[in-house]
Amino acid sequence: MTEENTIFKSSLNKAMHLCSRREYCISDIKNKLQTWGINESESDKIISVLKKENFINEMRYSEAYVKDKYNQNKWGKIKIKSRLKMKSIPSDLIEKALEYINEDTYIQRLRDILAERKKNIKAKNRYEMKGKLYRYGMSKGFESSLLTDILDDIV
């Protein structure tokens, strides 16, 4: 066995071990392989094997990412979508994964987030309160039209 083949096998095993513990996307694994000193052609071969053996599945990753960021971090669709795009996930997979979010619970979640935040904000007047809540909602990745509608109700 050549040294190159040994490095390939050990890197593949290491990547398989990583992917068996949690979900990774292709760009995450490419970055890992690059930090391990694996060249691009070897990296592509490893990723090909990982995809073939179903260690990497971008749809599964997208769904898990959406569920995690929506439920744990309470992010909105815009922020989730932009972060997935940064990871080079195809747009059609992103849209399918975002279907997990129920529209009614999404709106209610935003109402709850804003109501909770409102308790901790000091503002001189209604206008200032609305501005601070609006910026907070935007930073969480919620749609501006949705924020405007909800803020008209709660402020």
Domain parsing of the chain, residue ranges:
3-56, 59-98, 103-154
Q: What is the pLDDT of residue 1?
A: 55
Smallest CA-to-CA distance from 99 within 72, 74, 62, 73 is with: 62
Q: What is the pLDDT of residue 134?
A: 97
In 10 A of CB 15, how many CB atoms? Answer: 23
* Residue ranges in the chain modelled with pLDDT below 70: 1
> Which numeric CATH code is attached to 3-56?
1.10.10
pTM greater than 0.85: yes
Q: What is the mean pLDDT of the chain?
A: 94
| Beta carbons of 110 and 137 less than 8 angstroms apart | yes
CA separation, residue 12 to residues 21, 39, 43, 87, 147 (Å): 14, 13, 9, 21, 46
> How many Å apart are CA 84 and CA 91, to the nearest integer?
9
Q: What is the pLDDT of residue 3?
A: 72
29-33-35 Cα angle (round to 5): 115
Sign of CA dihedral 122, 128, 133, 139: negative
The stretches of 36-90 forming alpha helices (DSSP H) are 40-52, 58-71, 77-86
